[in-house]
Every structure is written in structure tokens, then in C-alpha cells.
Amino acid sequence: MSRPLRVEYPDAWYHIMNRGSSRSKIFKERKDYDLFLKVLEESCLFFNVYIGCYCLMGNHYHLLVNTPESNLSRFMRHVNGVYTQRFNRKYKKDGSLFRGRYKGIVIQADAYLLQVVKYIHNNPLKAKIAYKLESYKHSSHRAYLKGKSNNSWLDIASVLSLFSSKRKLAIEEYKEFMRGPVDSQVEQFYSKKNRGSILGESVFREWIKQNFISKDTKGQLEIQEKRQLQGERIIQSVVREVCEMFQVNRELFFIRKRGEENIPKSFAISLSRELSGLSLPKLAEIYKTPSYKTIATIYFRLMNKLNNNKKLLKQYTKIKYLCSQEET
């Protein structure tokens, strides 16, 4: 496969692959698969990235990646780098774990997303290391069969919603969909030795070429400007709703106080992170936090707190719903 294009834009979808150096194992035991998923979780929370599906295969992996903030390169550099460090520390090794830079394919989601999910989940059958997909433990297929995920970074809802808005019906349609073969056109695309880095129809491929290969960034800049304005409006809504919920003054969100837990500010920051589409550095600037890493930390801590506090979870969900309605 040719060197992947550096195609990055808001809400893009990618099929990402990487293989161990000299085809060596990157997962030697069950705990290594768990270690990789842990790194994936941390990276997704840190960079505001979501995984549509995954399949880990002993000496390589497949990921379906969605990047709301057009930051694929930074995200993947972090995933591969941190996992390599932890793997080498565990096995007392040094040097490169992977064959090289990840391989990536940008996907026209409306036309090919479901087929890519099928292709990724079918890898254990194709490699003849499993006879039934539901018996393979190291992919997201079994989460799809349940219709839900315990991990916020694994976004199966976006894919299942393409089948039906009703969860039970979506699961049944997904099962039926997986019983059939991968689309012949998609199978042919992946079978090529020098396959391209774009999976999409001619109009989509041309759009990619015009905006990224030809270095024509005017359209991209317009998208970013609109996204910025929309994001700032959403933040205003978030701040207003949080102030009303907790009966606090909005200035509370834009001052720095060390060593004090500030639940309303944590709400505002976390909801802004989920809904505004703005980058972490921009949110750090708006909320006057020490760095963009602080935004990710606040979000991660609040999510853990919500898992153990039904009252706070109910409040958070209510505000998120109200602001989402305003967004639309």
C-alpha cells in the first residue's frame, strides 16, 4: 500500500492498520490486548477521538477511527508511541515495535462505512483463527451484538443508527448484514497490492484531491471558521444552562482556582468538549485552564464521577440534551 495521505478534516472517518516489525507479534498474551485497549481509551479521551470498531490480530490491528477535531496524525502517533513504550517496558526490549508509520484509508462514510465495519470484523474468519465471529474476543463485534458499549470511546451507536433508530431492530439488522459477504467492490479495493488511500465514489475522491492533494485549503478554512462560530455559540448555551442548573455566576467558569473541586466548571468544560467541536487548546484558552491537557483530565475525572453518582449523571444528561436541542 502506498504511503497514506495526510488527509485531515473535522469528523473524518479512517480505516487504520499497523503491523509488527518483521511481522512479529505485537500482542503476546491476553493482557497485551487489554493494554492496547487501555492505551486506546486514554488516547481517545485525550484527543477527542472515537473508535467505530476494532479488531486486534496478534501481529497487527485494524481500527475504524473518527476524528471530530481533524487530528489523526497526533492521535495515532500517541497510540503507537505509548503502546510501544509500555510493551517494551513489560518485555524488557527497546526499539521499534511496529513496521513503520500506520497505514490509513480515508472513507466516504455515507457510502462505505458499514462495509468497512464488516471487513474489519471479518478478519478473524479470513485469517482462519476463528470459525465464528462471536467467539473471537479481541474485536468489537460482540459489543455490536449487545447493542451497547461500556466504553465511551467505542462509538457503536453511530454505526448501528445506520440500520435503525431502535436498538433491538438495529442489532438484528446488523446480525443479518454480517451474515452476507463483503461488497465485491470493497473486497477488490482491499485485495489490491498497491491500493489507494481513499475509499469513496468519484465525487468524494475528487473532493479529497482538490482540498488536500492540490493544497487548495480555502474550502477547509471556511469549514473551520464556521465550526469555530458554531462551537462558541454552543459554549454560550452550555454556560447558561449550567449556571441555571447550579445557580452559580458564569464568572466561576473563567477563573483559575487550584486545589478546589469545581463541579459546575467541570460540567461546562466537559459538555463543551463533547458538543462544541472546538479543539482542546481552544477550550483551554476559553476556560483559562493551565493547558489543553487539563481539559482532558477534567473530562476524564468527571466521567468517572458520573459513573458513581446518579444525581450528577441525570443533571449532566439533562443539560447535554437541552444544549443539543439548541445546536440543531
122-139 pLDDT tens trace = 999 999 999 899 999 999
At residue 328, the pLDDT reads 45
Q: What is the pLDDT of residues 233-282, one digit of tens each?
A: 888 889 999 999 999 888 777 766 665 678 999 999 999 988 887 877 88
At residue 301, the pLDDT reads 84
Distance (Å, rounded) from C-alpha 268 to C-alpha 276? 11
| Residue range(s) of every CATH 1.10.1750.10 domain in the chain | 219-327
At residue 73, the pLDDT reads 92
Distance (Å, rounded) from C-alpha 92 to C-alpha 19? 20
Q: Within 161-262, where are the H helices?
A: 167-179, 184-191, 202-208, 218-246
| Residue range(s) of every CATH 3.30.70.1290 domain in the chain | 12-216
Q: What does the DSSP 8-state code read for residue 209? A: I
* Under 8 Å between Cβ of 51 and 158: no
Distance (Å, rounded) from C-alpha 176 to C-alpha 170? 10
Distance (Å, rounded) from C-alpha 201 to C-alpha 254? 46
Fold of the domain spanning 12-216: Alpha-Beta Plaits (3.30.70)
Q: Model-level pTM?
A: 0.67
Tally the residues of the chain: 328
Rounded alpha-carbon distances, angstroms, from residue 310 to 193, 275, 316: 52, 21, 10
Q: Does domain 219-327 have CATH number 1.10.1750.10?
A: yes
Below-70 pLDDT ranges, the chain: 1-5, 213-228, 255-260, 325-328
